[in-house]
Amino acid sequence: MNKFIYKICPKKDWEIAEKNGVFIGSGIDLIDNFIHFSTSKQVKETARLHFNGVKNLRLIKVKSDNLNIKWEISRNGQLFPHLYNKLLLSDVLSVYHLELDNNNNHIFPSELDDQ
């Protein structure tokens, strides 16, 4: 469906993943037993709804080609990408630090400006 998917996670959880070479999820992922991702068109709304004003977040850009992604209905009847496995860091393309603007909204990389 989408070549790239995105994960928002706390900096500390991503640092653990970098140490271990694998990301097992964080927060709600660990409760739900799968890693929640968003598409490029969904990720800003995900940040607004679930991470509003939260500091020290990372935005992880992942290539989905080699992953066994399940597309499942979630927020507003949209299909969201879910991974029922660990994420190998070899599938990660980029890691961005999500800064906050003066209104406590996250500032996303310019590649998502048109989304």
Show the domains of the chain with their CATH numbers: 4-103 (3.20.170.20)
For the entire predicted model, the pTM comes to: 0.92
pLDDT at 30 over 70: yes
pLDDT of the residue at 71: 94
Displacement of CA 80 from its chain's centroid (Å): 11
Mean pLDDT of 34-40: 96
- Rounded Cα distance, 39 and 111, in Å: 13
Alpha-carbon span 86 to 89, nearest angstrom: 9
Above pLDDT 90, what percent of the chain? Answer: 85
Average pLDDT over residues 63-78: 90
Q: Assign 3-state DSSP to the chain and report helix, strand, coil percentages, each to 5.
A: 30, 35, 35
